[in-house]
Structure 1
């Protein structure tokens, strides 16, 4: 795949319906993590740009019919979906170049799948009951009808990370727009093209001015305006738990609605009656996909103590054969991590694993490539469940194998972190596995390889993995307020 020489549809911010540069002319470099080459520049917004975007979103929400016209919203989402499909190949090249994701993964979570996910909200706008009436009832001596309305929350600040940027941009923007909100989207500075392209295509699709605004900035102080500004009604953020805490605290002064999809340290529990030879290699391989940069990746493998060594051998054999390298090569499932900071952070975890236990495979920066932010697929064993590599989100291609004594011990270890995003359980007895699935404190659980990742399934976490849900009907409702109106009963004809 040829890397883009000119982005075309991803050079400018979208503010108030206009594609614009930063007011002070500043730009950010967009770096290809596989080559460390600058593939282009994008605007580096200052405070005035963000203020203008918020003001445009406020005007569009307060002075137009966007929040009440479901037909208009549905037509705009259809047009946006179609524009995304028309530019799919351009977007594919942009995604691979700025994220380092293997091109082989783009038909799934990175590109084609998420575009299709828009159909979910397009369909909901035909069927969702934004208003319903409760049965007539005497309330405090007054016969009353009560109308329950679901109304758009207002101006939404959507802040997204770099691992699956187009997917997360669409996830947040589609739900908020379908609900009748207006949006200011701020992507990670490492992956700006995926957001700027969305803004350009929104113009092409005919979205009304100010309904969607896109700003790019490398200045955290500038970005923080979105979490504190009084004209922003809601914040939806995906990223690390540490940053999520700061977002939540910043939003507290104005009591904004907050949706957080944060970190994970998800466990796959293999029960003593499961077929290790069928289960473990698949789990070990999945940790390496997109260099482990997935919040719901099953990065802890829990196995019966008596079968620990067998599981380690199976996992090592599988990880040793994962094809990785150049993300433009369709044969690879793993590319680089996104930047030097992330690479160095992963390597620090590898070093701590060597101190706390045993590196079975990998554990080093690679010497296979002269350039690029690559790290080796790494397997860790013989660490306690309290070790840093077994407790903290590494966001790299690392799997930790942990032994347990019985089912209760497995649940204790699986739930023994600050996170609760996802889990999985494997058993020859589906009912036994399902019983354990019901015990985990996690927002999603897979049983015997069944997949929860679907547009109709709400996604989010327990504990410090987040607040709220995305996708499903719940993803729409996170951007809706609830209003109750009491009226006297209407006379029957």
Structure 2
């Protein structure tokens, strides 16, 4: 299949205009078929400089940052435009990101579009000014208030696994707060971002320079965006290794940094839980979108005396999950994004065997799928929590199952990780499950099937899973500065 939209002649959005990239074009592939979809504009350093210049000018010289009504109106307009084009965006997202189409009706497209409306409402109802009343510091009668205002130019750097969810989790609050944005999407899914740029330029009332979208296969452009002194805040989602680099680079200009990074989250099953049901949920979760989610629970911790039964239950559930075409509405586990990512997952499977682990099911490429970057749903047993496959983020449909010796030991293993992004506790007694969840050091925890994902719910991690929060009011306030104003009373 070859798309003729977005037009590769004009996929960069800079200062309100669509234009070609200074470095030509680069290829974008369908991960389910390995076919070339088409070409995306390849931005160069001059393009990035123009985008930052435009964002800086739009923030400094227009009323965007001070006009709440304008911002709310344009965000709602953009949401409507996106819904009007949802069929095209859905097809494009499935083809370029390998996203199972069923997920586009939820967190991969439809729900994130709603972020724009939610943050428009928040901007209108937010308490931008808080009166501190009168005081007499040093005997001087003074009236004081706290003013919340936009930070400035935001550099937003996004990954490929949830191209719309993560993009709108940055764009919606940043723009609602009054910032201007330079978006640098990943080279694996450039069309998902370029399509947004085309719609913004042609069908919305965003003032020029407020949103700029720069696609490129040159990873150094991301570093240039981070280091540029005209950029006031960097919002980055990606690997922990790259996040460290972003933080180091941003330190030179002491700009604000939000980092949403990796995870190796634990699914803790207590000894009074429905073992088979919990294991089935854990297996299904880790296979969703081929395991390409930072907050997925990829370590399954089960009671030691139920370990064999748990291995059998988890393996049975994983064997029932069929790898399939993401365009098929029955598919939940499609391809991984690229040949490079598949090789990375396969490297971890070899490493798990070398470390003494047993591949209970899966462990290879599915039969009958000679093309496409597919990996079988895989369960690994026999590893301790010190094994690399149990400690490092694999980003594939791979679950590591390990035994624990009671609640205290389960908490110890769950917290024995450089990450702290998410987690799950499953138990028969709700109060006991809550008590275990309260001891897990992670930014989100689900208890007995509770779902933490929602636009009003802040998301982020502890430890090396990142800094700050995305979504909710907390995510909105990441993009604000606090100013204290005082005048004679």
In the superposition, the TM-score normalised over structure 2's length comes to: 0.98
Structure 1 residue 329: Cα displacement: 1.2
467-476 or 360-369: bigger deviation? 360-369
What is the correspondence of 1:23-422 to structure 2 with a 5 Å cutoff?
23-24=22-23, 26-203=24-201, 204-356=203-355, 357-422=357-422
Q: Specify the SS of the correspondent of 2:420.
A: coil
Moved more, 98-107 or 179-188: 98-107
Aligned mates of 2:7, 2:26 — CA distance in 1:
16
Could you tell me how far apart the structure 2 residues matched to 1:119 and 1:428 are? 38
Report the 3-state secondary structure (helix = DSSP H, G, I; strand = E; otherwise coil) of the residue aligned with 1:224.
helix
1:174 aligns to what SS in structure 2?
Answer: helix
Answer yes or no: is the 8 Å Cα contact 1:458–1:473 preserved in 2: yes
Residues 82-131 of structure 1, C-alpha deviations (whole Å, 9 max, x = no match): 11000000000110011111111110111111112222101101210111
- Range moving further from structure 2, 395-404 or 132-141: 132-141
Distance 1:412 1:326 in 2: 39
Contact 2:116 2:172 in 1 (8 A): yes
Q: Deviations over 1:372-405 (max 9, x none)?
A: 1111110001101110111000000000111111
Partner of residue 440, structure 1: 440
Contact 1:4-1:94 within 8 A present in 2 as well: no
The number of residues matched between the two structures is: 486
Distance in structure 2 (CA, Å) of the matches to 1:117 and 1:38: 32
Which shows bigger deviation, 130-139 or 102-111? 130-139
CA distance in 2, matches of 1:311, 1:145: 64
SS at match of 1:365: coil
Deviation at 1:429, TM superposition (A): 1.1
SS in 1 for 2:445: strand
Deviation track 1:260-308 (CA, whole Å, cap 9, x = no partner) reads: 0000000010111111122111111111010000000010111111111
CA distance in 2, matches of 1:472, 1:460: 11
Query: What SS is found at the alignment partner of 1:260?
Result: strand
- How much does 1:138 deviate? 2.3
Contact 1:217 1:223 in 2 (8 A): no
Is the Cα–Cα contact under 8 Å of residues 32 and 371 in structure 2 kept in the other structure? yes
Unaligned residue ranges in structure 1 (runs of 5+) = none
Q: SS where residue 235 of structure 1 aligns?
A: strand
The 2-side partners of 1:211 and 1:264 are apart by 32
**In 1, Cα distance between the equivalents of 2:138 and 2:402?**
59
Partner Cα separation in structure 2 for residue 320 and residue 9 of structure 1: 41
CA distance in 2, matches of 1:348, 1:389: 10
In 1, distance between residues paired with 2:222 and 2:106?
Answer: 30
Question: Aligned-pair distance for 1:9?
Answer: 6.2
| Separation in 2, partners of 1:431, 1:259 | 34
| Matched-pair contact (CA < 8 Å) for 2:323–2:374 | no
Cα RMSD for the two superposed structures? 1.1
- Aligned 8 A contact 2:292 2:396 in 1: yes
How many angstroms does 1:142 deviate by? Answer: 2.1
Shift of 1:222: 2.3
Cα distance, 1:4 vs structure 2: 5.0
Q: State which drifts further: 413-422 or 111-120.
A: 111-120
1:6 CA drift (Å):
1.2
